[in-house]
Structure 1
Amino acid sequence: MKFGKGRGNPSGDYKGRNKGGAYGPEGFCVCVKCGHKVMHQRGEKCTKLKCPECGHTMVREELVKNKK
């Protein structure tokens, strides 16, 4: 009998929230409009920050790199 690969999968294939997209506490938040970078603060989402240069919403640097 075959079983699906869900949360209870003992092989450890489940990647968790965001399909493994969590980038950890380190890194940068970057503005996609002007390119300004600020250090990511642990426990604070980059999307909650506004760019100090232009006021645009910021995103994790890794997301910008993964899109290219």
Structure 2
Amino acid sequence: AVRSNVGAGDASLAGFLIAGGAGPGALASAVAHGAAAVQLPGSLMPTPPDLSPATVTVTSDVPLDRPL
């Protein structure tokens, strides 16, 4: 559940950079960090126990007719 979107972009960028700043692994890390941030109150930044990287799937094989 979303508790706050404050800092979600900052957390996403941090996750991206922590993972090397390039490639699918960095994107997955960014998504995990951003998702964790919105589940925390206020402007708290996620810590490793807050992250769920196993729930993030990055793929380039997405059907173009798939509804968003």
TM-score interval, normalised by the smaller of the two chains:
under 0.3
Q: Tell me the TM-score normalized by structure 2.
A: 0.25
Q: Tell me the TM-score normalized by structure 1.
A: 0.25
Larger RCO (alpha carbons 8 Å, 6+ apart):
2
Bigger helix fraction: 2
Decide which structure has the larger Cα Rg and report it: 1
